[in-house]
Amino acid sequence: MKIDRKGKTLYFYKQIFTKKYLIKTKFSLIYPFLTNILPSYFRFRTFLFSHCCNYGEFFLILSFNYSVMIKQLILSCAFLLASGASASEKQAPKDYIYTVRTTKDTVNKSLSDSAAVAANRNDTLRKSHKPDLSFANVKRWCKENHVADNLTASFTLGTGGLGIELSTPLTQRARLRTGVEWMPAFNVPLTFNLSSFSENGTSTDISHIQQMVKDLMGLDIDDKVTMDAKPNLLNYKLLVDIFPLRHNRHWYVTAGFYIGSPVVGRAKNSRAETQTLVGVNIYNRAYNYFTSPDFDPYMVAIGNGIYLDPELAMEYRRDFERYGSVGIHIGDYKDGKPYLMQPTKDGRVTAKAVTNNFRPYLGIGYCGAVDKSKRLELGFDAGALFWGGVPDVILHDGVNMTKDLVDIRGKVGDYVKFMKALPVYPLINFKISYTIF
């Protein structure tokens, strides 16, 4: 900024307050805004086109321009007050002109120098902060921040079955684990008594029915049926371990989920029971035929156009009504009526346990090294696997044992009571781990 006699920015005449003086004076007050504030955004767009910076950085580059503007305002106001005082005193005008201006070449040169400095600084920053995504650099960063800097393989054994898993740290106090667990196949025998149901009630004595089946069809049936139950647990798991103690890497809290088949168990009759179930199935078909309201004793066909003697047919009808139907008395309906599970047409009885396929997990655990290199570790996990409610045990005829039946008999009743009392599955696993790298 300088004062000379050849500028064209502002004229101060030491004479009376004329209209021309007023216009020039007002223009002197807004001139700094017109020459600095308004063009700044358009200069910024032009500057941004060739340099990498934001609007704030651009204003920092032009900070000297704002200081010039403020000085212009102060000097303009000072000259305005001085001129007003002179005009009021009606002093004689002088022959010289005062000019307050900023040399355009100086501003442009300063702007160019500042832009060059900023451009060089931005180029330096871009070069210095360019990410190095090489394998060595990523590996070094992971090791410094304890992110996936090692990999541990584990073998587990417990109530969830056998399992394998891999784990790696996420941070200094968090670890990610993933793996699979499956329950080896084994049979749990479940034995049920055959019972008869008639108007007189339910009875476990079916000796007369056994004899009748022997005489009519030549089949020997037992008074008991054995079913083989097998677990069906195959789960994928994703868990996160949190180490709450700052200086202790042994105890941790675990949260995550398991995903697997919704069917967690199946049961079906053994092959040795096929003859008994086929005999029961044939007997129940004959029972339904002879006790039907539309039964006609004169139309009981034996084959090849031969019909059974009507008196003998009526005798069979009375025997069937007295003996009743045969089935496996598992339990009773909620209204008190007994439920008899009868075989399918092909002589089978089946059941399955169903839960949600997504099962959240919450538990705690401990692990500790057993060698000097701290690669081999032993530990355990204890927690609860949330089924999402009591598992449903559905029979082949669609009856839900856990919801539709009460007073379930035998070991099955004990299992159903246990599941109703414990809507979560307890998981206790022991594991041995080895750090690969």
Domain 152-270+326-435: state its class: mainly beta
Confidence of residue 382 (pLDDT cuts 50, 70, 90): very high
**Distance between CA atoms of residues 207 and 197, nearest Å:** 14
For 43, phi then psi, to 5°, come to -65, -40
Q: How far is CA 424 from CA 88, 241, 261, 384, in A?
A: 98, 20, 16, 6
Evaluate if residue 21 carries a pLDDT over 60.
no
How far, in Å, CA of 336 to CA of 325, rounded? Answer: 18
Q: Determine the distance from the C-alpha atom of residue 355 to the mean position of all C-alpha atoms in its chain, rounded to a whole number.
A: 18
The Cα-based distances of 101 to 21, 42, 62, 114 in angstroms read 17, 22, 17, 21
- Which pLDDT does position 50 carry in this prediction? 44
pLDDT on residue 10: 38
Q: Which of 427, 358, 378 is nearest to 160 (CA)?
A: 427
Domain map (residue ranges) of the chain:
2-128, 152-270+326-435
Q: Among 136-150, 219-233, 332-346, whose mean pLDDT is lowest? A: 136-150
Q: How far is CA 371 from the centre of its chain?
A: 37
Contact 434, 151 (CB under 8 A): no
3-state secondary structure of 62: coil
pLDDT at 283 over 70: yes
Residues 6 or more apart from 112 whose CB is under 8 A from it?
none
pLDDT at 214 over 50: yes
pLDDT at 362: 95
Question: What's the pLDDT at 153?
Answer: 93
Question: Tokens standing for 115?
Answer: 């832009």
Average pLDDT over residues 72-97: 49
Geometric angle at alpha carbon 83, from 77 and 87, rounded to 5°: 145
